[in-house]
């Protein structure tokens, strides 16, 4: 099977490429160049690709040409500006990248006869924030209190309107929880900030320690995307929206996750609360992934403590071992 992944040079994209290659699939990708010291470079992901297109997803002609040239069976669209706080600094860039970039991919998929399934990845933040503690189901109202969240809710509306209007290949949207895992270098995310500080011998600062999030390992999320694509391919399920999130024990406070990280790190490591003023964030954000469990047979393979453990293990081991080997070993362990 030939998969085309947009955003393949990013954190989730790199893990997805390695998972697909481990399962024997051909993979092509389209994205901007990776950030310095990104997992894509550290894990030598470029060598796994049949085609490696470096272009802005907003360039509709380039996206259409790349997908047509690759003739994939499946497109998984993940290219995005994925950070809430960055969207407050760059709102126009965020909306253009996420919304117009998705439009470029939808147009390209519709124009490419080889594509038989299309998954558009959005986020758990597409839901209207009403502090729902027992998890938002897929039919909960969409919303967005910041440019990133709103842009992804727009992507949901655009994708499903496109399907209704133009009847392309089977297409679905996927909404995942807060993903963690080795090699994430994004700014303003809990695990990267914690591990960067601890690795440098600093005491990390944590915003909103009592905020609750649906934590899951990146491999659980991307394996859900692949399973959804396979269900679209074989016709066992139609499109629509799908949540991929942890079991309820994976709904945990930032404080609990940070405590587990510093405990595993050892050596008297600690963190402290950032007392500076920061933009508002949702206090409670959880997902109801019952639909994926019941209809796709998907379930997270790693519980929260294991997911945190694998992330800390990756950081520790990659200081003394090649990142490429450590990353592939975790992929193989996940799929064992």
Range(s) of the domain holding residue 221: 2-335
Q: Maximum distance among all alpha carbons in the chain? A: 58
- The CATH number that applies at residue 279 is 3.40.50.720
Separation between Cα atoms, residue 147 and residue 300, nearest integer Å: 29
pLDDT in tens, 43-74: 999 999 999 999 999 999 999 999 999 999 99
Give the closest residue to 80 by CA, choosing from 101, 106, 110. Answer: 101
Q: Is the pLDDT of residue 228 over 80?
A: yes
Q: How far is CA 67 from CA 32, 103, 193, 229, in A?
A: 15, 14, 35, 17
Domain total of the chain: 1
Q: Could you tell me the pLDDT band of residue 253, with boundaries at 50, 70 and 90?
A: very high
pTM: 0.97
pLDDT in tens, 190-202: 999 999 999 999 9
Contacts of 271 (CB under 8 A, 6+ apart): 194, 197, 203, 204, 205, 206, 258, 262
Dihedral sign for Cα atoms in the order 189, 193, 195, 196: positive
Contacts of 301 (CB under 8 A, 6+ apart): 219, 220, 223, 334
DSSP letters, 66-82, are: HHHHH--SEEEE--S--
């Amino acid at each position: 099977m030939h998969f085309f992944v947009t955003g393949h040079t990013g954190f989730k994209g790199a893990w997805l490429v390695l998972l697909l290659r481990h399962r024997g699939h051909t993979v092509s990708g389209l994205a901007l160049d990776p950030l310095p010291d990104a997992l894509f470079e550290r894990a030598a992901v470029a060598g796994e690709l049949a085609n490696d297109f470096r272009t802005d997803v907003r360039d509709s002609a380039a996206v259409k040409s790349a997908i047509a040239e690759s003739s994939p069976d499946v497109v998984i669209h993940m290219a995005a500006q994925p950070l809430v706080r960055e969207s407050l600094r760059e709102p126009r860039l965020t909306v253009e990248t996420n919304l117009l970039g998705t439009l470029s991919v939808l147009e390209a998929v519709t124009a490419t006869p080889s594509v038989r399934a299309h998954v558009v990845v959005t986020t758990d933040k597409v839901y209207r924030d009403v502090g729902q503690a027992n998890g938002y189901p897929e039919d909960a109202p969409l919303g967005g209190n910041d440019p990133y969240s709103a842009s992804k809710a727009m992507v949901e509306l655009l994708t499903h309107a496109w399907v209704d209007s133009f009847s392309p290949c089977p297409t679905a949207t996927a909404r995942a929880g807060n993903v963690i895992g080795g090699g994430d270098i994004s700014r303003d995310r809990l695990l990267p900030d914690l591990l960067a500080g601890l690795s440098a011998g600093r005491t990390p600062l944590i915003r909103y320690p009592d905020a609750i999030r649906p934590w899951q390992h990146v491999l659980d999320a991307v394996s859900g995307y692949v399973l959804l694509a396979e269900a679209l391919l074989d016709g066992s399920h139609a499109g629509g929206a799908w949540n991929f999130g942890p079991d309820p024990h994976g709904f945990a406070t930032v404080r609990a996750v940070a405590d587990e990280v510093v405990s595993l790190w050892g050596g008297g490591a600690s963190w402290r609360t950032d007392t500076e003023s920061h933009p508002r964030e949702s206090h409670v954000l959880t997902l109801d992934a019952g639909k994926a469990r019941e209809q796709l047979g998907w379930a997270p393979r790693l519980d929260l403590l294991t997911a945190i453990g694998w992330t800390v293990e990756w950081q520790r081991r990659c200081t003394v071992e090649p990142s490429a080997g450590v990353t592939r070993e975790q992929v193989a362990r996940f799929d064992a």
